[in-house]
Amino acid sequence: MKKDITYDELLEKIPNKYILTIVGGERARELHAGATPLTKTAKKDTDLKKVFREIIDGKIHYEEDK
């Protein structure tokens, strides 16, 4: 059984809570539309939990425009 994902773990990967929300929402919409998950997940996991697992595993990240 995998351990629960905490908010602090997510903020270690994407340190801005607003960007975390935007990135997570965009990816959740992609998964809901039928995109393939980038990490192994359980069938009962929600789209958002799949997104969180992808972020923790380093499959999802963002780059700042400068």
Percent of the chain at pLDDT above 70? 97
Contact by Cβ (8 Å): 23, 31: no
Residue 1 has pLDDT above 70, yes or no: no
Tell whether 25 is covered by a domain: yes
Domain that holds residue 16: 7-57
Contact by Cβ (8 Å): 5, 52: yes
What sign for the dihedral angle of Cα 41, 43, 44, 49? positive
Query: Directed axis angle between helix 47-56 and helix 17-32, to 10°?
Result: 120
**How do residues 39-64 score in pLDDT, each as one tens digit?**
998 889 999 999 999 999 999 988 87
Tell whether 51 is covered by a domain: yes
- Give 6's pLDDT tier (boundaries 50, 70, 90): very high
pLDDT of residue 2: 66
Specify the 3-state DSSP secondary structure of 22. Answer: helix
Number of domains in the chain: 1
Reported pTM: 0.85
Tell whether 1 is covered by a domain: no
Tell whether 64 is covered by a domain: no
